[in-house]
Chains A and B, each alone.
Chain A
């Protein structure tokens, strides 16, 4: 017990560079595995939250762009979505890493881009914008005709109509699918440190540490279930938070007419 508290204080923030520098070498205890893998979750949460929040805005823009009547804007948005949804995230990470690496060779400014915290974040941001953009576009297409006609009848047009009628309705319709997207964005953050981006001073994410332990102990039956446990917790947390927001978005509707959330994985990107 004493040992375990010591381990937690040594390694709880190891993934972001605080505490003991040297990773455990032998006699790996359950406590060490729980602590380090949990410490790695900091990265997963960081990537997921920042990409989801920033991606939300670009996704709205892309969705509106794809629904736009302007041919050029429509084409650009559609291509953006196709580019990121049609290719594996894994390859996108690799490409981006080597792209930033060759830019860095020419301009020192691009130095931070080759580190995971920024470079991988940009890829995740663009990727989730494309997936979410497609979800929002689908929702835009299925906004009830009556809602828009009612807005017209009230004399709303342009920005106020979008802000007060179209946008909230789009979010409401897209919310269940968007929740799934959020969950799988968090899951795909595990790819980061396996795709070119180096884990500097062994500061990695949860999967990085899990595979570290699996390699060292040659026993996959402990670290991976621990990782699974953390991710199931995270998934439940996301469902709860997104469910709260969803309830708020739907608060004006009759209580039995709410669209129900169904867990529908988008699976691997």
Chain B
């Protein structure tokens, strides 16, 4: 058994847990900054920019997310190749879309056909990260937009009375105070993001779902030293437990942060804390 669990392929399985964590580590800040940008755009006084921000927020919400994932992976890939195509082969005679084919010149392929395997894998991973960031950025934008509006009006009026400009009010008053209002929503989003990571599998990355299917499948003695029946059920049970543990830990940590942040805030929870202490 111990031998079985330490085969080379299993190392790939264990590393893929790292892939998931890496995805979370890169996507979370990226999505947060997309969200911040989206929210800033949505509350801009310049109308077209505000429409752009609001459309970005609205459009991602009415449609199943998984459709977005499947869509963006191809769309991003093709978009990048089209841009490179126009930049690198300006005098290409044919159109790119010919019936059911999508043809760009050799130099515009991304990554280049001759590139080593790891470049392809990294590129696939980066596309996946970007897709996650776009989708979750919209959700984060929605949360942050709400949080910015939740900052008490009196605070803004005071800032204006002190002669602050719009920009100063935004950066010095709104941004520092909005986090306590945004945190419950962002925390929820984090949990959702954790639960969305298995979708990496659909984006063609070799993640834990891929390996669990691969390793759990029936192995005959002809091809391996460690034959076994169909164990996929047990592999997915392990994944289930992994996710349950992960969300539980996140829940506890978020709870702690929230308690720390509400300290001394003029909200119901802050008031309750003050009373409990007294």
Contact = CB atoms under 8 A, between A and B. Distances in A.
Contacts of A94: 209, 212-213, 232, 236, 239
B90 interface: no
Contacts, number: 123
Contacts of B102: 218-219
A91 B240 CA distance: 6
A218 B62 contact: no
Contacts of A89: 195
Interface string A7-33: 000000000000000000010100000
A88 B194 CA distance: 8
Contacts of B202: 194
Contact of B67 (A86, A101, A224): A224
Contacts of B100: 26, 28, 216-219
A160 interface: no
A246 B71 CA distance: 35
Interface in A217-239: 217-221, 224, 227-228, 231-232, 235
A224 B244 CA distance: 32
B135 to A, nearest CB: 9
Main secondary structure of the interface of B (DSSP, over half): helix
Given A207-B66, A267-B139, A87 B247 contact: yes
Nearest to A87: B243
B187 interface: no
A88 B195 contact: yes
Contacts of B175: none
Given A95-B239, A220-B71, 8 more contacts: A95-B236, A98-B236, A101-B233, A191-B66, A227-B63, A232-B62, A268-B65, A268-B196
- Nearest first, the 10 A-B pairs at minimum CB distance are A98-B233, A187-B64, A95-B236, A88-B195, A224-B71, A220-B74, A98-B232, A228-B63, A86-B247, A87-B243
